[in-house]
Amino acid sequence: MKDELLLKVDNLSVRFAVKRGGGWRKKSYLYAVDDVSFEVERGKTLAIVGESGSGKTTTALAVARLVPAFQGSVDLEGEDFLTLEGDKLRQARAKVQFIFQDPYSSLNPRLRAEAIVREPLDSLGLAEVDEKRAIVDRLFKAVGLRPEQQRLFPHQFSGGQRQRIGIARALATQPELIICDEPVSALDVAVQAQILNLLRRLQEEFSLTYLFISHDLGVVQHMCDSIAVMYMGKIVEQADRLSLFNNPLHPYTVALLSAVPSVDKKRRKATRRVLIPGDPPDPVDPPAGCRFANRCPVAQPRCSESEPPLRDVKGGHRVACHLVDESAKSPMS
Amino acid sequence: MTALLKVENLRIELTTRDGVAPVIDDLSFEMNAGETMSFVGESGCGKSMTALGIMGLLPEKVGRVASGTILFDGEDLTRVSDARMREIRGNDISMIFQEPMTSLNPVYTVGEQIAEVLRRHQGLGQRAAWEKAIALLDAVRIPNPRSRVADYPHQMSGGQRQRVMIAIALACEPKILIADEPTTALDVTVQAQIFDLLRDLGRETGTAIILITHDMGAVAEMAERMIVMYAGRKAEEGPVDQVINHPRHPYTKGLISCVPHLMANLSEERPELTEVGGIVPGLREFGRDACLFASRCDMVNDKCRNARPPEVAFKGNQASACWFAEKV
């Protein structure tokens, strides 16, 4: 079982048509996800981090086939999930489930909790009626809700409890891969811990694989086994948890990590805050070279001339920066 | 030195369908000029209500100051006339909010919105106010202020809008700036820029800052003193480093340890996060003569359920409202 690949995403791109200036001008495209590749091993968690507009949620949606991909493939247990149709697609959909960010808008207010959790079974035609009842019972127990709460409506639950319902729904089809899109960012801090602990317990229990989308680096550091950092639709750095947090290489990753306020005095003293000025450039018309070049504190002329490829610099630590060489030292240090 | 702001036994009541609830219950604190103080807690604990109470912006007909005083420079803000309060607001005390998009007027340029404050409060003429608006945009580090001053809010990014809000709030060089979750809607690199800006401006102008947040990391970076609020009451107060290293209230302890923080050196092991079970009690519970944290506390006993704990003082100006503060 170990080290077996569950998900392999190759050269995935998602583009949206945007109108500029109106009139008869040519349509232009915004590449929200631009040639992104990554792999996730079974039972592991890959986190995708980045700021708003970096394409992390669109990547997740494309992997789950909730937005159409423009290019690329999503290989799930040896099948290309993006080209499946009909019954095959339905079977594959059961393997990929989604936990959404906002537990207030992602539950149908007119359905009782039990019906919400049962819905994936209904729509994918996965179980008999009396079987379903038992499954829902088990799921409620697994996520820490009481059996009598099955009859309640979403508005009768707190935010944390609603997220538990969302998690139970995602578990209903016995999926292999669960995509968690900012699963705790809408919750109060004290409730976040409850949900994060639950997600880790469930991962153990059902040997789940997570694709974990978040902007909160503290949460990511706690949850993931490996991390991909996205900036303007591209992965700029990818590594396992310890390498990325203890030895970040890309200047953007360094800046991102240094921006996180911390209660740890040692860390505050050790990290020099790197302020990156300004905002990301226009995503419809990205710059020619490295997309981070115009904000990068150590940029050189060649950075705005050619785009750095994502390459392995040291034992699986991949980075897209001209200034990182085989010694795997960050140009920022 | 007398305190710039002195709040004593403040009680703010909200009228709800279930009756009157004290959303701020017997709150006292002091703040000196130039100081940065932080209010921390979960939603519904009274952080923002405290701010609105000081600003005289409690929801009309629903909320009111029931008792207590808010002394600002010797003047009791709970008793001043509406006209005087309008003078103070914006001039001496100003506020920035969480969502910079909804707090700016979409149909006026940012220059007009900054200039309006200056014309109203400082009696500047059109031209002078406009020039000062440009200078302020420059001060909050917006590039090309002379051309950006004529932009509408939608033409700016979230971070830039929050900078405009800060420019408006600081236009009259207030003595106190209340920042209510100023960076919650922003990305972390932008948050770092805004914190940096607030720190520098606070230092330059001597403005005292009240930072309302739920992020302990932000408190640690920005503030000198902090107050932890729970269910409308002050749970704990003290110097930031001291409180974070030695919390004396189980709620403070929970708030710190339930969040996975980035640490100096990450190791292989990942302990379970400490959970603070349950949620903040509903308004109906507020004001009861008991510790309102009792239902979520693992140190609870009968005393906690039957009497409100008094504030216990510790060395170094730390205080905690817990029956077992010494044992925490």
Could you tell me how many residues make up chain A? 333
Residue A171 lies in a domain: yes
**Token pair of B40, please?**
């921390």
Residues A109 and A256 in one domain: no
pLDDT digits (tens, 9 = 90+) for B197-230: 999 988 888 899 999 999 999 999 999 999 999 9
pLDDT value of position B25 = 94
Sheet of B176-180, strand order: B93-96, B176-180, B208-213, B36-40, B225-230, B233-239, B318-320, B312-314
Residue among A117, A218, A215 at smallest CA distance from B185: A215
Work out the percent of chain A whose per-residue pLDDT is above 90.
Answer: 74
**Subunit contact B259:A193, Cβ cutoff 8 A:** yes
Query: What tokens does A157 get?
Result: 């639950």
- Residues A219, A299, single domain; the answer is no
What are the C-alpha distances in Å from B97 to residues A81, A220, A285, B100, B290? 44, 27, 33, 7, 33
pLDDT 10s digits, B136-159? 999 998 989 999 999 999 999 888
Choose between B176 and A332: higher pLDDT.
B176
SS3 at position A308 = coil
Give percent of chain A above pLDDT 70. Answer: 97
pLDDT tens-digit profile of B82-92? 999 999 998 99
What type of residue sits at position B132? K
A295 with A203, same domain: the answer is no
CA angle B261, B262, B268 (to 5 degrees): 100
DSSP label at residue B161? H
Partner residue facing B265 (CB), from A222, A246, A258: A246
pLDDT attached to residue B1: 61
Average of pLDDT values for A248-268? 90
Taking each continuous run of H as one helix and of E as one strand, the counts in chain B are 12, 12
Task: Using alpha carbons, select from A236, A327, A229, A230 the residue that is nearest to residue A290.
Answer: A236
Residues A181 and A326 in one domain: no
Residue B96 to residue A170: CA distance in whole angstroms:
39
Classify burial at B299, counting beta carbons within 10 Å of its beta carbon; exposed 0-12, middle 13-18, buried 19 or more: middle
A155 and A283 inside one domain: no
> What percentage of chain B carries pLDDT values higher than 90?
75
Q: Which of B215, B261, B297 to mutate to test the interface with A (most CBs of A within 10 A)?
A: B261
CB contact under 8 A, B189 and A193: no
What pLDDT is recorded for position A24?
64
How far apart, in whole angstroms, are the C-alpha atoms of residue A8 and residue A178? 14
Distance CA B226, CA B242 (A): 10
Amino acid letter, A290? C
Beta strands in chain B (DSSP E): 5-16, 19-31, 36-40, 63-72, 75-76, 93-96, 176-180, 208-213, 225-230, 233-239, 312-314, 318-320
In this prediction, residue B157 carries a pLDDT of 86
CB pairs under 8 A between A and B: 127
| Domain assignment present for A241 | no
Chain A residue with CA closest to B222: the answer is: A261
Residue A2 has pLDDT above 60, yes or no: no
Chain segment A54-100, per-residue pLDDT in tens: 999 999 999 999 999 999 999 998 899 999 999 999 999 999 999 99
Which burial class, exposed, middle or buried, applies to B85 when counting CB atoms under 10 A from its CB (0-12, 13-18, 19+)?
middle
Find, among A83, A67, A63, the residue nearest to A176 by Cα: A63
* A216 and A253 share one domain: no
Contact (CB, 8 A) for A33 and A235: no
Cβ-Cβ contacts under 8 Å for A22 (sequence gap 6 or more) = none
- The whole-angstrom distance between B243's CA and the closest CA on chain A is 11
**What is the tally of structural domains in chain A?**
2
Question: For chain B, what's the residue count?
Answer: 328
The residue-averaged pLDDT of A255-281 equals 85
Report, as an integer, the average pLDDT of A317-323: 95
Number of helices (H), then strands (E), belonging to chain A: the values are 10, 12
Is residue A243, in this structure, part of any structural domain at all? no
Nearest to B270 among A217, A222, A270 (CB): A222
For domain B5-80+188-320, the CATH superfamily is P-loop containing nucleotide triphosphate hydrolases (3.40.50.300)
Cα(A220)–Cα(A207) distance, integer angstroms: 19
pLDDT tops 50 at residue B40: yes
Q: Region A270-288: what's the mean pLDDT? A: 84
> Would you call A262 and B157 a contact, using CB atoms and an 8 Å cutoff?
no
Q: What is the mean pLDDT of chain A?
A: 92
Give the model's pLDDT for residue A189: 86
Interface test with A, best of B189, B213, B293, B297 (most A CBs within 10 A): B189
Report which of residues A1 and B178 the model is more confident about: B178
Nearest chain A alpha carbon to B143: A278
Question: Which residues are within 8 A (CB) of A78 and not within 5 positions of it... i.e. 6 or more apart?
Answer: none
pLDDT (0 to 100) of residue A22: 59
Closest CA to B152 of B118, B92, B105: B105
Report how far apart the first and last C-alpha atoms of chain B are (Å, whole number).
Answer: 33
| Intra-chain end-to-end CA distance of chain A, in Å | 39
Is residue A230 situated within a structural domain? no
Q: What is the mean pLDDT of residues A297-325?
A: 93
Q: Which pLDDT belongs to residue A218?
A: 92
Residues A53 and A184 in one domain: yes
Place of tokens 């050189």: A300
d(CA A276, CA A237): 17
Q: Does A283 map to a domain?
A: yes
3-state helix, strand, coil in chain A (%, to 5): 35, 25, 40
- Per-residue pLDDT of B45-85, as tens digits, reads 999 999 999 999 999 889 999 999 999 999 999 999 999 99
Task: Tell me the average pLDDT across A21-46.
Answer: 86
pLDDT at A186 over 90: no
Residue of A nearest to B255 (CA): A190
Is the distance from CB of A188 to CB of B214 less than 8 angstroms?
A: yes
For residue A180, give its domain range. 5-224
- Alpha-carbon distance A296 to nearest alpha carbon in chain B (angstroms): 13
What is residue A319's three-state secondary structure?
Answer: strand
Residue B295: pLDDT above 80?
A: yes
Same domain, A276 and A155: no
- Any domain includes A295: yes
Alpha carbon of A194: minimum distance to chain B alpha carbons (Å)? 6
- The predicted complex's ipTM stands at 0.85
CATH number of domain containing A96: 3.40.50.300
CB A33 within 8 A of CB A14: yes
Q: How confident is the model at residue A25 (pLDDT cuts 50, 70, 90)?
A: low
Pairwise CA distance, residues B258 & B260, whole Å? 7
Name the residue ranges covered by the structural domains of chain B.
5-80+188-320, 93-171
Shared-domain flag, residues A129 and A276: no
pLDDT grade, residue B264 (50/70/90)?
Answer: confident
Same domain for A60 and A139? yes
pLDDT-based confidence at residue A1 (cuts at 50, 70, 90):
very low
pLDDT at A330 over 90: no
The packing angle between helices A113-124 and A86-95, to 10°, is 140
Let me know if residue A209 belongs to a domain. yes
pLDDT of residue B43: 87
**H or E element that contains A317:** strand A317-319
Residue A253: closest CA among B262, B220, B189, B216: B189
**Strands of the A28-41 sheet, one edge to the other:** A28-41, A5-18, A71-76, A79-80
C-beta separation of B64 from B271 below 8 A = no
Distance from CA of A221 to the nearest CA of B (A): 7
Same domain, A209 and A270: no
CB contact under 8 Å between A241 and B265, yes or no, is no
Q: Write out the DSSP string of A267-294.
A: HHHHSPP-PPPS-PPPTTS--SS-TTGG
Q: Are residues A184 and A261 in the same domain?
A: no
Q: Considering the domain boundaries, does residue A270 fall inside one?
A: yes
Position B133 pLDDT exceeds 50: yes
